[in-house]
Structure 1
């Protein structure tokens, strides 16, 4: 029988598997859908980015609701919402406006989910297991993206949505049966209580500290490049490098690397901390610098290649290094704000969703104005990564602020 932290970890990991898989379906499906419905590049951009509009709208709401109503209830509603919107996409696809609405609802559901998982982790996972736990959580997201990238090219675009939407409904039944809320709606239970448990924090405190802003900016930077890869890689490989449906399965390779590196980096980070070789802050800074500056460098390499296997190789290395962020700034929330990790993550992820809104129309405009060249898109992404890494290295902290 699993102990409580392990029980919590694996249930949330499977939820993140489904979460991430549902996000990847549309970037793959949009190629045959565009051929069927004759959308232009700007129309595709708005469909892809509409997810982020819903996602950015529900982050803080989800974190606040979790503190009031409990993680079990909020995560149940979250998964039901995003699974329903995934399952019903084929019914809305005839109208680009209805499809955009469905994508907004998908974003709303997923926006409720991740802050809830961070809240659950901050209460139920001991600090000496935190790096690897976040590593597994992020890795399962990458495995979900891998599964979708491998399976979806073999299905009609309609069955992509039916299949993964159904998996979400099955998870809800398992979650309701297996997970027991370790707290009431008023008194919170911690596996490792914070030094100061202040539940009456003024909202200004969440934006008044530079260590918090270093996390927010690092998260924003990570997502800028990740959203471009997630949303546009199948289109880029197909339209610019001549990839066919078989080649699209190669987009699974970067997600495999991301999941493997995330787990290895998490165990390595916890090992450095538990053996007292490095301080928690030094480990967070090391992992974040690798997770931001490394991908920034390889995005520059990626922008210069025209060979399909080489392009996939550089993207694979890029997403692999990006997984180190799970042991870096993503784990930092539970240290600087253990009682409010769900809310600080919600604020961070809200700001980090702005790239998801911008990268659709902005990428379409840059590529159109550059007469089909993607070089400006990748240069901007690399620059954002380097700036985020520098800010985090100079401003981050590991002591409790809230």
Structure 2
């Protein structure tokens, strides 16, 4: 029997949505933890007299850990159970965050802690998706995933609003402590989640014995429509990582923003969250109006890549904090249209393997997070403190992604 039929709907609903709620809170903490350092690094750099190169490597270390663990997280959850793996992931990232102030005097120690934070958080999201696939009924998964993504955006907003007003070390203690508190509540449902996963696993083992062998790994890298998605995702994340890692520093160092103005860097995340929901409704409306799926995916992706690319050129010329935040908020609003573009295209080109293609795409799209830290520092230093080359490069990467996706994408199944 499949797990979702073990209990009656009336008995099942509270359990399922308790788990969904806790997973959403875990993703909120996950997202909040990753934006603390880009804000806190400003006072930390002032205190320890770091240069931009040290600044960049500390920020990029997170992305190295994050990229290295995403596929590992999905595989581990399948092998050992999502409940156990998620527990380990939250414990790892919470400890890494909580003890960060103790090692802030050492650049190498901070790089290591940022790496372990990335490893834990990289495991988190694919593990949560695995748990949802095991215990959440099919007709409730869209809502569950919608809440999951929304809570991630809310976590970024929350951290951006709170952290500028705290002593920098307190931010790490606060959200690291939230992780420990989450673990206490998670233990209440831990055994039930494990039991539900075991029932599902037994079912799928029986199904696998009746099915034929699946695809080889190289097939996920041998189709142009898949590479169109991968490149578009990479391009989108290049500008997104620039915003997430460097916006507070740019506003403070280049435009002279104070603590109260840094707080308004929450606006791009808020606009992105709202626009993601709107983009989905707009895309569905066009498809219902008999637009082809491919035309809708290409339109949404072009809006989400070309729009932010052009706005980044404009952003580089802004001379006030309010203008800069307004432009970046509009850029992130348009970037949200990618959610109804190439990010949704996985289901059409690989309907039976969308989870794997998304993991590959997300892994490749984390490379900009690694490159943006040291590369941004180098560009700013070699250009005499000017940031224009940084935003020019990001805008050009976006435009290349739009051209590749617009010419090579497909809505036909390739896997």
Residue aligning to 2:222: 208
Three-state SS of the structure 2 residue aligned to 1:58 is: helix
Three-state SS of the structure 2 residue aligned to 1:371 is: coil
Q: Is the 8 A contact 2:132 2:141 kept in 1?
A: no
- Equivalent position to 1:224, from 238, 246, 249: 238
Residue aligning to 1:91: 102
- Equivalent position to 1:247, from 252, 261, 269: 261
Confirm whether residue 381 of structure 1 aligns to residue 394 of structure 2: yes
Please state how far the C-alpha of 1:147 moved relative to its aligned partner. Answer: 0.6
Structure 2 unaligned residues grouped into runs of 5+: 1-9
Please state how far the C-alpha of 1:128 moved relative to its aligned partner. Answer: 10
Q: TM-score, normalised by structure 2?
A: 0.86
Q: How far does the alpha carbon of each residue in 1:260-292 deviate from its partner, in whole angstroms, 9 at most, with x for none?
A: 11122233334545x464444433333222221
Residue aligning to 1:357: 370
Q: Distance in 1 between matches of 2:122 and 2:204?
A: 22
How many residue pairs get aligned? The number is: 395
Q: Is the 8 A contact 1:116 1:342 kept in 2?
A: no
Residue aligning to 2:51: 40
Confirm whether residue 161 of structure 1 aligns to residue 172 of structure 2: yes
Residue aligning to 1:369: 382
- Equivalent position to 1:19, from 26, 30, 41: 30
Q: Is the 8 A contact 1:20 1:145 kept in 2?
A: yes
Please state how far the C-alpha of 1:122 moved relative to its aligned partner. Answer: 6.4
Residue aligning to 1:337: 350
Query: 1:397 and 1:17, CA in 2 relative to 1: closer, same or farther beyond 3 A?
Result: farther
Residue aligning to 1:184: 200
Query: 1:205 and 1:117, CA in 2 relative to 1: closer, same or farther beyond 3 A?
Result: farther
Q: Distance in 2 between matches of 1:221 and 1:353?
A: 10
Q: Distance in 1 between matches of 2:257 and 2:57?
A: 23
Larger relative contact order (CA 8 Å, sep ≥ 6): 1
Q: TM-score, normalised by structure 1?
A: 0.88
Confirm whether residue 105 of structure 1 aligns to residue 116 of structure 2: yes
Query: 1:400 and 1:4, CA in 2 relative to 1: closer, same or farther beyond 3 A?
Result: farther
Q: Distance in 2 between matches of 1:289 and 1:4?
A: 41
Superposition RMSD in Å: 2.8
Query: 1:246 and 1:165, CA in 2 relative to 1: closer, same or farther beyond 3 A?
Result: same
Q: Distance in 1 between matches of 2:241 and 2:137?
A: 28
Q: Is the 8 A contact 2:60 2:374 kept in 1?
A: yes
Please state how far the C-alpha of 1:199 moved relative to its aligned partner. Answer: 5.8
Q: Distance in 2 between matches of 1:248 and 1:90?
A: 21
Q: How far does the alpha carbon of each residue in 1:287-308 deviate from its partner, in whole angstroms, 9 at most, with x for none?
A: 2222212111111110111121
Three-state SS of the structure 1 residue aligned to 2:214 is: coil
Please state how far the C-alpha of 1:247 moved relative to its aligned partner. Answer: 1.0
Please state how far the C-alpha of 1:333 moved relative to its aligned partner. Answer: 2.9
- Equivalent position to 2:71, from 46, 52, 60: 60
Bigger mean CA deviation after superposition, 2-11 or 83-92: 2-11
Q: How far does the alpha carbon of each residue in 1:156-199 deviate from its partner, in whole angstroms, 9 at most, with x for none?
A: 1111001111222333344454473455346449xxx9xx9766
Confirm whether residue 267 of structure 1 aligns to residue 278 of structure 2: no
Please state how far the C-alpha of 1:363 moved relative to its aligned partner. Answer: 0.4
Structure 1 unaligned residues grouped into runs of 5+: none
Three-state SS of the structure 2 residue aligned to 1:184 is: helix
Q: Distance in 2 between matches of 1:101 and 1:207?
A: 31
Q: Distance in 2 between matches of 1:101 and 1:395?
A: 39
Bigger mean CA deviation after superposition, 69-78 or 316-325: 69-78
Query: 1:307 and 1:322, CA in 2 relative to 1: closer, same or farther beyond 3 A?
Result: same
Q: Is the 8 A contact 1:60 1:346 kept in 2?
A: yes
Bigger mean CA deviation after superposition, 205-214 or 229-238: 205-214
Confirm whether residue 346 of structure 1 aligns to residue 368 of structure 2: no
